[in-house]
A and B are shown apart, each in its own frame.
Chain A
Amino acid sequence: MADTAGEKKEYWRWQESCWIDESKDWRAAKIVTAGIDVGSVSSQAVVCVDGELYGFNSMRTGNNSPDSARNAIQGVLDKSGMKLEDIKYVVGTGYGRVNVPFAHKAITEIACHARGANYMGGNAVRTILDMGGQDCKAIHCDEKGKVTNFLMNDKCAAGTGRGMEVISDLMQIPIAELGQRSFDVDEEPNAVSSVCVVFAKSEALGLLKAGYTKNKVIAAYCQAMAERVVSLLERIGVEKEFFITGGIAKNPGVVKRIEKILGIQAVQTKIDSQIAGALGAALFGYTLMQKQGASAKAA
């Protein structure tokens, strides 16, 4: 992110990542499945071996969903030495789920996020907030990760990752630093009043001109985002345990404020929160393969 003349900085650009569990040997596994989550902003591929997380790749979605799906899975294949043929069942999910060329089945991201959160946060998780790139979902599920109530807001970018990217660029602060900097204020400001990202951006500019520090403006935006998504959660009812998925789960400035409003803490996990949908899809694939195996034995 060098500050050279003529080079446009991309403050919004988040860290892509690829990870493999070196302690597992996929060649020894009975069933290898994959989940591909092609979202509006990011794409993830997750590979599971015998129903356990083995590896994932998380990257920016390009302008072509099939290519994004191929690129996402290729990262895991390259790192593991696996071939696509070694994966027995692939489930596509997310905004571009029907455009995953090598998927055997497409399942909505709502069901997949619930299943993924159940794995990542444990079977006590009942309420899930998925703060995606261009939408926000509030989900209630049972102990098996089956959805019992959901709502989704994809009409407006308020309360989404894209909204945070816009503020990151406007403040000229890397997106990964926004959350922490939002706490570095002398007093907690009121939330920006507009729920619309376009108007919130205008309002943020106005606050800067009125003498707010950048950190204070970020705090005001994080608070607005928290209030926005909490109103969605309240519609389905919040029940413990509470889990947050999606890229915004990595932003403590928003997460802590949501927790403060709700009065409950979100379950913590070491697994990347952005892969929940793809992980759920891979787990669905594992269950479907098991069912197929059971049917074949019975026949």
Chain B
Amino acid sequence: MIANYGYKDGSGEYYISIDTDKCIGCAAERACLAACPNEMFEIITDDYDDEVAAIKQSFRRSLAFDCAECKPAAGYASLPCMTACTPGAVKHSW
């Protein structure tokens, strides 16, 4: 399942997509949890009883701001969460 967390508003689209099929039995030992400096990731049991990563509810409406410090404008060449997720489950839309 592709879970898109985020929103679209007047300024653009801000979604973090998590491919939960790659998340089940994580080969990166849940590295996303530690990689995000804002600790935005959490492990949940989804509706189909699989343990997968998700974005915490409190961040889902403010991703444009919360992720800003990891974006190229802040000096990053690649996003820490995407780099840490070696199975390639995490993607940003912007």
The reply to whether the CB of A60 lies closer than 8 angstroms to some CB of chain B is no
Among B7-15, B23-31, B67-75, B82-90, which stretch is in contact with chain A? B7-15
| Chain B interface, >50% SS class | strand
30 contacts between A and B (CB under 8 A): A108-B47, A111-B47, A111-B48, A146-B48, A147-B1, A147-B47, A148-B2, A149-B2, A150-B1, A150-B2, A150-B4, A151-B4, A151-B6, A151-B15, A152-B4, A153-B7, A153-B8, A154-B7, A154-B61, A155-B7, A155-B9, A155-B61, A156-B8, A156-B9, A195-B9, A195-B10, A196-B10, A231-B8, A235-B15, A236-B4
* Chain B CB within 8 A of A76 CB: no
Query: Please, which residues of chain B bring their CB within 8 A of the CB of A235?
Result: 4, 13, 15, 93
Contact of B1 among A148, A152, A153 (CB under 8 A): A148
B3 within 8 A of A: yes
Within 8 A of B (CB), among A77-123: 107-108, 110-111
The complex places the Cα of A206 from the Cα of B90 at a distance, in Å, of 44
Interface of A is mostly: mixed
State in angstroms the CA–CA spacing of A108 and B10 once bound together.
27
A276 touches B (CB below 8 Å): no
Number of interface residues of B (CB under 8 A): 15
Residues of B whose CB lies within 8 Å of any CB of A are 1-4, 6-10, 13, 15, 47-48, 61, 93
Complex: chain B residue closest to A155, CB-CB:
B7
B47 near A107: Cβ-Cβ < 8 Å = yes
Residue from A151, A231, A232, A235 whose CB has the most chain B CB atoms within 10 Å: A151
